[in-house]
Each structure stands twice: as C-alpha cells, then as structure tokens.
Amino acid sequence: MDRFDAMTLFVRIVESGSFTRAANGLGIPRASATLAIQQMERRLGARLLERTTRQVRTTPEGRAFYDRCVHLLAELEDAETTLWTEADNPAGALRVEMHGAQARLIVLPRIQEFHHRYPRLNLILTSGDRQVDLVGEGVDCALRSGVPEDSSLIARKLVDLPQVICASPEYLEHAGHPSHPDELHKHQVIGFFSGNNAVDSTLDVVVDGQARSFQGGGWITVNDASSYVESARQGCGMIQLPRFHVAPMLERGELIEVLPEWQKPAMPLHAVYPQRRQLSPRVRVFLEWVASVYEDYFDGSR
C-alpha cells in the first residue's frame, strides 16, 4: 500500500471510528488495514490511534496528522482533475446509494442516458431502506428523503415528493372512509421503522395551512418499503408514502387514496455527500444529471 492509499485508509478509520468499516469501504481485509496503520506509525515515529475493544480515536498527534491528510488528499484529487483531457468527462468508480423504489422507477429507466454521457464512469449503485454510513462505507453520495439530520454531510435539495395516504378497498369497506383528518385516530396505521429510528405510525395532513400529525392504532410494523406497501394491499391498515411509489396501484384500484381532498405535506428529497470532501467531478456530474431526471419526472404530471 503506497503512502496516499495509507493516508486514505487512515482518514476513513478516523471518520468511521472503525478499522472494519474503513477496510470494508475500501475493499481490503481488516488485517491489511491494521498492518498498514502499524507501518505508518513506525515510519512516522508516533502513535496515531488509540484502540480499545469498543472504539478507535486519535491521539493528539493523530488528530494533527488527520487534518494534514485531509488537506493533502483534497489537493491530490484537485491536481488529478486538472490533468484530465476532458474535465467534463470524469473517470473512475462512483458509489451512489438510494432507495430501491426510486432507483427502480425513476433513475434506472434513464441510466443508459447517464452512461452514454459519461462512459468512463463505473457506477456502483446500492439500494435499500438502511441508511448507510457514507464515510465509513466509502459511498460518494446518497439520495435521502426527509430533513437531513447529519450535520457532517452537505445536502442539496433535489425535489419535493408528493405524498399520499392510502389503504386497500377491503380495509376501507370494513373500517369506513374517513371524511376528516380528526377521524384518522379511529383507523389502523401500519408502522414503519428504519435502522435505529423510532417507529413511525402517524399520518400527516395539512389542516388550516399547517401540517399536523394524526396518530392511529395498529398491530403491524415493518422496516422494508415493499413490505410496507404489501401490508396495505393485504388490508392491514393505512400507509403514507410518496405517491410515485404506489401510483400504478392507485390507478388499478388495488389501493384507494384516503382524504383525497386534503393536502398532504410533501417529502423533500436531498442528495448528500461528505462535508470534508470538495465536490468531485464524478459526484458533480451525477448530481447535475440526477437533478434533471427528478425535475423531468415530477414536472406536475405525476
């Protein structure tokens, strides 16, 4: 491992707080990561990291070295960028994380367009409901719904996703159609949670110009978007999610919109990337392209 690769590894370990996560993000064995840091410490004649069974943290010397590494790695990437013969045609691997439904329904139908425009980029797309650790897992950027909570990430808003509350015809035939949001507490709501987040079993509706949350009952909670929708299709209760996700089911009558005359607050979608890194050409061109894809998709016709 050369010095720049070792510096990249060291920065990843500091930012993720873990040898294992840093090694996995770079695709190397954990033993190789441990050996590389030991060799770096011997070469520098200083201990950089304090290791315990529960965490990894920097020594004072390690913190100072980390700050210099971040600066040098940014300068290196900047220098490499200036040598490209085509600055608007970056090369290399680009790791992006997004929700599976958005990948399947919005982004992937136009992905060949992105490849034809930037043929030297190798896209590594990961999807799921788990919120990944961008730094620890080596992800360049992610598309995330809701209000960004991680202050270590830079967020760029892409679009507001229109939401819908819906349930199966069978459920509504049995439980009745509410005519006012105040009636929602009488209904079953399918709970949803992701990672370590608390279970959300509320329904949000705009009342008198203000978004209000209404708590319903419920007997089933899931942590997967497909299971969330399928539970609603099977008559387990009401759900609330971006309309695009269930638009075909609404058109076919498999799900029925609840309180259609009442506005639902939109869900913001952001692209996020690590704060310490300048916006690399790889990420920049992807964000510009994906922003246009979402703008086209949500142009008022959906």
Number of domains forming the structure of the chain: 3
Query: 302 lies in a domain?
Result: no
- Residue 238 sits in the same domain as residue 172: yes
Place of tokens 């497909």: 226
- Residue 277 sits in the same domain as residue 136: yes
Residues present in the chain in total:
302
Identify the domain boundary among 52, 83, 114: 83
- Residue 142 sits in the same domain as residue 209: no
Smallest CA-to-CA distance from 34 within 1, 67, 60, 66 is with: 1
- Residue 32 sits in the same domain as residue 178: no
- Residue 131 sits in the same domain as residue 224: no
Q: What angle do CA 276, 279, 285 make, to 5 degrees?
A: 155
CATH code of residue 279 = 3.40.190.10
Residue 30: predicted pLDDT:
92
Q: What's the domain range around 30?
A: 3-83
Residue 133: predicted pLDDT:
81
- Residue 52 sits in the same domain as residue 201: no
| Residue-level pLDDT, tens digit, the chain, 302 residues | 899 999 999 998 998 889 998 898 888 999 999 999 999 999 999 999 998 767 899 999 999 999 899 888 877 876 766 655 455 788 888 999 999 999 999 999 999 999 999 999 999 999 877 778 887 777 899 999 988 888 778 999 999 999 999 999 999 999 999 999 999 999 999 999 986 678 899 999 999 999 999 999 999 999 999 999 999 999 999 999 999 999 999 999 999 999 999 999 999 999 999 875 557 888 999 999 999 999 999 985 45
Q: What angle do CA 238, 241, 246 make, to 5 degrees?
A: 85
Query: pLDDT tens digits for 160-212?
Result: 999 999 999 999 999 999 999 999 999 999 999 986 678 899 999 999 999 99
Query: pLDDT tens digits for 234-256?
Result: 999 999 999 999 999 999 999 99
- Residue 273 sits in the same domain as residue 261: no
Query: 197 lies in a domain?
Result: yes
- Residue 148 sits in the same domain as residue 182: no
- Residue 221 sits in the same domain as residue 184: yes
Distance CA 23, CA 163 (A): 39
